[in-house]
């Protein structure tokens, strides 16, 4: 599991950061300059208006921009007072900053003795992995791998072939550059690097977002599941009902507390555990049901909760893929006894590393989780339980806090893309995901089915369109469960799905144009 590597599967980044040198910006605001340098305007427009680019200006250039524009105003309007010129300059700067974001000037500069200003701009560009568009001959000469002319920028844009990455994590990070920088500085300057205020604030905010009373940050989604099971006193000799079609972590958590995963087949149309099949799997040893809100679509919780009540079972939800999803209008987060979350980077709410959480309405359970994640200790050097070290890092909590503010907007973007796919592929040979009327999914993944899935995936790859399989081998067929005695013939739906499912590109940074490319790519196959 830890070998999943986005770099390999993502393909090229779809959005490129562009740092505009101030000579290009000044050209665009001055008719005389533009006559001499006409390429500056189309380059500026391309950088600021195309979904393929994100435009920046180096923070180190701002005062120079102000100085040069103020001087230009003095020449154009010699009768204007200093205050009027100042006002005009301010309007100009604000107008520029409405179109381009500020890029930091980092502390790890390499100062070029010949041109300090250029080295500041290049350092800014490196910090955000941007190309610089400039007319400065010295910069073009000295930094050919980073700096390019307006003309070359326009030409390189025209040459780019269609590429649709499966997921663009770098673009997601770059969209939040300033907020992430602020969060990083805050945590590093706090001097507090384990648990503490930062983690507590995120736990409270995330729990509130999930409509749950308590949130407990842990080190990963797998740990969230394991600790939730342990906090419910589930262990050796117990059985836990799990979906036959899910990511392996759902099963591993059960196995790792010493209990036995008992698989139940999914409803094909929604991919989620079929409540109608659960009761047949219950034995005297069953202690809990562990539904997964797979691909961001809520499982049908009411019948599951009713079965659990009838049989005195706990319900522990695996919501690793469902941040923000709603079941019958209520956010996933506290329907069951405990809800486990993953903040793996590719999730709808993803950290810059591993992270996880458990949400619950049960104060005692939350307290037990806090104990278990921290060596079983509430008071330093007093250990009530044989706990583990599974704490959410303050730095990750701060990043997650930033991303939480954008989660609804980013989920809306996923929804719009899913809508486009559902409409654009409605009459194609693909089997599309079905959304029950009580479900508000958040489209962590957009998963289609096709009997010739592998051929379809090959053709999409050749067309420059990324895709992944979630998941190619069902848990009961994994080598790690080879000795567990699962009867392959009892899980035909999970087995068939593993051979047919294909996840199309999906993510908040995927553009509508790219979704249209995916649709036409599929239609051509
Ligand atoms: C359904 C499901 N459950 C559990 C997990 C485990 O989360 P993590 O990778 O944070 O341990 C994942 C994440 O990949 C998942 O998709």
pLDDT in tens, 197-218: 999 999 999 999 999 999 999 9
Question: Whole-angstrom Cα distance, residue 391 to residue 227?
Answer: 11
What is the CA(367)–ligand 1 centre distance, in A?
A: 23
CB-based pocket (< 6 A), ligand 1: 220-222, 246-247, 249-250, 292, 318, 320-321, 342, 344, 354, 356
Q: What sign does the CA torsion over 378, 383, 384, 390 have?
A: positive
Q: Is the distance from CB of 438 to CB of 327 less than 8 angstroms?
A: yes
At residue 13 the predicted structure's pLDDT band, cuts being 50, 70 and 90, is: very low
| CA-based max dimension of the chain | 92
How much is the pLDDT for 160?
73
How much is the pLDDT for 14?
67
Atom of ligand 1 nearest to the CA of 355: 10
How much is the pLDDT for 273?
98
Atom of ligand 1 nearest to the CA of 321: 16
At residue 408 the predicted structure's pLDDT band, cuts being 50, 70 and 90, is: very high
Residue 51 clears pLDDT 90, i.e. is over it? no
Among residues 478, 472, 523, the alpha carbon closest in space to that of 501 is found at 472
Q: Is the distance from CB of 18 to CB of 120 less than 8 angstroms?
A: no
Give residue for tokens 């602020």. 182
pLDDT, mean of residues 208-232? 98
pLDDT, mean of residues 171-191? 95
Residue-averaged pLDDT of the chain: 94
363-372 and 221-231 helices, crossing angle to 10°: 120
Give the pLDDT confidence of 77-119 residue by residue, as tens digits.
999 999 999 999 999 999 999 999 999 999 988 888 888 999 9
To test the ligand 1 pocket, which listed residue (3, 242, 249, 298) has its Cβ within 8 A of the most ligand atoms? 249
């Amino acid at each position: 599991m830890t070998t999943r590597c986005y770099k390999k599967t993502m393909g090229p980044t779809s959005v490129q950061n562009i740092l505009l040198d101030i000579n290009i910006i000044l050209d665009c605001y001055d008719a005389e300059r533009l006559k001499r340098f006409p390429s500056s305007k189309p380059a500026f427009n391309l950088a600021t208006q195309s979904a393929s680019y994100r435009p920046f200006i180096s923070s180190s250039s701002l005062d120079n921009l102000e100085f040069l524009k103020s001087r230009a105003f003095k020449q154009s309007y010699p009768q204007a007072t200093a205050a009027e010129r100042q006002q005009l300059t301010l309007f100009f700067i604000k107008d520029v900053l409405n179109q381009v974001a500020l890029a930091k000037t980092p502390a790890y500069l390499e100062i070029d003795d010949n041109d300090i200003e250029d080295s500041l701009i290049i350092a800014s560009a490196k910090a955000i992995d941007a190309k610089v568009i400039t007319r400065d001959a010295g910069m073009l000469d000295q930094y050919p791998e980073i700096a390019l002319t307006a003309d070359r920028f326009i030409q390189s844009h025209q040459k780019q072939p269609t590429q649709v990455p499966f997921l663009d994590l770098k673009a997601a990070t770059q969209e939040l550059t300033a907020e992430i920088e602020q969060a990083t500085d805050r945590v590093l300057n706090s001097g507090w690097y384990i648990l503490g205020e930062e983690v507590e604030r995120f736990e409270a905010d995330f729990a509130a977002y999930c409509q749950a009373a308590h949130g407990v940050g842990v080190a990963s989604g797998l740990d969230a599941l394991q600790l939730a099971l342990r906090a419910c006193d589930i262990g050796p000799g117990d059985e836990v009902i799990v979906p036959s079609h899910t990511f392996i972590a759902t099963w591993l958590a059960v196995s790792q507390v010493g209990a036995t995963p008992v698989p139940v087949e999914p409803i094909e149309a929604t991919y989620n555990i079929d409540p109608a099949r659960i009761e047949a799997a219950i034995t005297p040893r069953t202690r809990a049901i562990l539904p997964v809100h797979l691909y961001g679509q809520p499982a049908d919780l009411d019948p599951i909760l009713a079965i659990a009540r009838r049989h005195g079972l706990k319900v522990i939800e695996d919501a690793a893929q469902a941040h923000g999803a709603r079941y019958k209008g209520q956010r996933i987060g506290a329907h069951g006894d405990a809800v486990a979350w993953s903040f793996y980077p590719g999730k709808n709410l993803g950290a810059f590393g591993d992270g996880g959480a458990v949400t619950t309405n049960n104060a005692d359970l939350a307290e037990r989780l806090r104990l278990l994640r921290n060596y079983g200790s509430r008071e330093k050097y007093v250990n009530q339980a044989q706990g583990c070290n599974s704490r959410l890092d303050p730095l990750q909590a701060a990043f997650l806090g930033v991303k939480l503010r954008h989660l609804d907007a980013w989920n809306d973007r996923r929804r719009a893309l899913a809508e486009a796919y559902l409409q654009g592929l409605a009459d194609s040979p693909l089997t599309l995901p079905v959304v029950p009327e009580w479900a508000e999914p958040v489209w962590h993944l957009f998963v289609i089915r096709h009997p010739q899935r592998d051929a379809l995936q090959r053709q999409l790859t050749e067309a420059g369109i990324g895709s992944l399989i979630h998941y190619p081998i069902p848990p009961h067929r994994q080598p790690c469960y080879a000795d567990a005695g699962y009867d392959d013939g009892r899980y035909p739906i999970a087995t068939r799905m593993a051979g047919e499912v294909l996840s199309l590109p999906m993510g908040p940074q995927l553009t509508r144009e790219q979704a249209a490319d995916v649709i036409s790519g599929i239609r051509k196959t």
